[in-house]
A and B are shown apart, each in its own frame.
Chain A
């Protein structure tokens, strides 16, 4: 089991002091929420669609081993080579070996959270293969040396001034802070990379077992370019991306893009299988000659047999973080690598172990906003609670917390003691507040760091009602 270098609380504390990030978040947060709400309303019976999405993904989990074998067969029949990676290291090794086999010097990558999960870029660079991110947001972050801030909008916290500065420092474009001009500069720069690249690396939104093909959804078209221009293509996908039937793609897409950005459909949807082999006599030179598909486990098979099983339904839309007030406050860099927001709070401990960042499943108010928008109805707060229960079972919680809960329960099961303690506490708070407000109490430093307690009357409801002869 790995241990994280920094706790969520420490990262979040740093993030709360980042005025620029918080300003950007305050501006952007409402846009995702209203876009999703409008898209769901326009669809009509979005609730039934969510139920349908849940059923499709439940089938994926239930039949996962058989579906993956079916996918492998169909993809190989179409000319792809399928590899199974048990963990991140295996996936990195396969990718590097494939790249070396083709003497690759330059790789273009379309956004892949799975690639982030396995820290692929570092491994490629170490092997001497230059790797260029081609999603605009990821490209900006690569220049800045930062990790994704959001699962579908990785650079949503970056302001145009910052981006202009990054571009200028890297001699991209002709300067200026005009958004359209900056985008054009990036496009021009990246187009040359696409044409020069030896390999294209993509993730996958879904893998369809019945046709042996991977689907990628992008708004910039970079996924399609990365998948089709270089002569060698590598697809890296978690085994949870499997879906039984291509005919289910319409429902899944309808859920995914509406939940993510409020779009009816993304600008580009690319479904591709296999590779162009020597038998193609259509005279065309287009399409990859070699296609390697890496199916990543990295903890997913174990998840399938655990209480975290339902998390495998996730289709990575980002709706949970878009609606999470904690995410809005602390931003995407406070969570673990690759995954953030409520889905990260469940997925990171589920994949990396409960003690990786032990306070992660606790950093939630349990408000439930994520659960009601999840397109595949994952009970995120419930799963966070199960993670907490697991920590309690494994006795990894702080002693003070356990002691407080045991003491509280002891008192709660003894009404006379409870009533005495409640009355004493009511009187204590009254006195501590001197009749107006309590400003500080040694045993609740977190609360009183930022809040007062308006002075209570000093008697409990039980005492007051007794006086009225109830």
Chain B
């Protein structure tokens, strides 16, 4: 059975470049993979808003879509964290399929490391500073994996100060509590500027759009990429 790539909503709509980079790593890793067309949202937004039945329905749909996949590869710590750690708790409504799905879900770096993937070295040098997304870090224990892959690709990776502190995104939180969320983002931006870097790397489109959006509003010329994009000179968007 092939592995299934789960785009996640934010990547699909707002940052497909991350998905292209992830796809490229899967190809280079020699993985047998598919992109199931029926995929939609994992259900996390409804879950965190307290709408348990709706979250269960979305998670069960996700389980159906990936039923024929051996693994589900997710380039996002929070969507993967939801499916793996929280969705099984919805089995009373969603049925056992969500428990089966949970066991199959892997964050991209976990899958690549299991495949013993070694990225080819970049041609152009890149120095970047890492921000650890909360869900990936605390729900899945993602920390060293992406850094290892980046180092193998020749990226010089440092940590931004307080790299494990939340950037303030929190899904609907950023909309419901825009001011508080911005205050958290400001603390993050200060640390990024203190790191004196041109490139920030993270593992979640949520954090990426949020940090980059605040930096842009503050007119700070720092780019924010998914770590998978940084593995390639072209950001993974072309075959170059």
A residues apposed to B, CB below 8 Å: 9, 12-13, 16, 22, 26, 325-326, 328-330, 359, 362-369, 371-372, 385, 387-392, 397, 401-402, 405-406, 408-409, 411-413, 415, 418-419, 422, 425-426, 429, 437, 444-447, 449-454, 456-457, 459-462, 464-465, 470
B41 touches A (CB below 8 Å): yes
Contacts of B168 in A (CB 8 A): 325, 365
Contacts of A367 in B (CB 8 A): 134, 138, 165-166, 170
Contacts of A446 in B (CB 8 A): 174-178, 181
The CA of A322 and the CA of B66, in the complex, are separated in Å by 41
Interface residues of chain A: helix, strand, loop or mixed (majority): helix
Contacts of B7 in A (CB 8 A): 460-462
Contacts of B173 in A (CB 8 A): 362-366
Residues B173-218 near A (CB distance < 8 A): 173-185, 187, 209-210, 212-214, 216-217
Do A450 and B187 form a contact, CB below 8 Å, given A405-B45, A460-B13?
no
Do A450 and B50 form a contact, CB below 8 Å, given A325-B166, A412-B40, A415-B39?
no
Contacts of A371 in B (CB 8 A): 138
Contact (Cβ within 8 A) A449 B11: no
Contacts of B171 in A (CB 8 A): 366
Do A459 and B16 form a contact, CB below 8 Å, given A409-B58, A422-B9?
yes
Minimum Cβ distance to chain B for residue A327 (Å): 10
Contact (Cβ within 8 A) A369 B210: no
Contact (Cβ within 8 A) B182 A470: no
Contacts of B217 in A (CB 8 A): 450-452
Residue of B164, B169, B178 ringed by the most chain A CB atoms within 10 A: B178
Contacts of B19 in A (CB 8 A): 461, 464-465
Q: Which one of B61, B135, B176 lies within 8 Å of A362 (CB-CB)?
A: B176
Q: 1/0 contact trace for B142-184 toward A, CB 8 Å?
A: 0000000000000000000000111011110111111111111
The CA of A96 and the CA of B216, in the complex, are separated in Å by 59
Do A409 and B177 form a contact, CB below 8 Å, given A447-B213, A456-B16, A461-B20?
no
The CA of A368 and the CA of B138, in the complex, are separated in Å by 7
Contact (Cβ within 8 A) B179 A454: no
Contact (Cβ within 8 A) B40 A385: no
Interface size in chain B (residues, C-beta < 8 A): 65
Residue of A362, A385, A437, A450 ringed by the most chain B CB atoms within 10 A: A450
B57 touches A (CB below 8 Å): yes
Contacts of B139 in A (CB 8 A): 368
Chain B minimum-CB-distance residue to A415: B38
Number of A-B contacts defined by CB within 8 Å:
202
Contact (Cβ within 8 A) A450 B23: no
The CA of A416 and the CA of B168, in the complex, are separated in Å by 33
Chain A minimum-CB-distance residue to B18: A461
Q: Which one of B17, B35, B185 lies within 8 Å of A451 (CB-CB)?
A: B185
Do A457 and B16 form a contact, CB below 8 Å, given A411-B40, A413-B40?
yes
The CA of A402 and the CA of B134, in the complex, are separated in Å by 26
The CA of A316 and the CA of B224, in the complex, are separated in Å by 39
Contact (Cβ within 8 A) A408 B41: yes
Contact (Cβ within 8 A) B58 A325: no
B232 touches A (CB below 8 Å): no
Q: A363-B180, A366-B173 are in contact. List 13 more A-B contacts (CB 8 A).
A: A22-B183, A365-B173, A368-B135, A369-B134, A369-B138, A392-B51, A397-B49, A406-B54, A450-B179, A451-B185, A451-B214, A452-B213, A453-B209
Minimum Cβ distance to chain B for residue A11 (Å): 11
Contact (Cβ within 8 A) B179 A451: no
B234 touches A (CB below 8 Å): no
Contacts of B38 in A (CB 8 A): 415
Contact (Cβ within 8 A) B17 A405: no
Contacts of B41 in A (CB 8 A): 408, 412, 418
Contacts of A22 in B (CB 8 A): 183
Contact (Cβ within 8 A) B14 A429: yes
Contacts of A359 in B (CB 8 A): 176
Q: Which one of A12, A365, A462 lies within 8 Å of B12 (CB-CB)?
A: A462
Contacts of B182 in A (CB 8 A): 449-451
Contacts of A13 in B (CB 8 A): 179
The CA of A418 and the CA of B11, in the complex, are separated in Å by 14
Q: Which one of A325, A401, A415 lies within 8 Å of B40 (CB-CB)?
A: A415
Contacts of B20 in A (CB 8 A): 461, 464-465
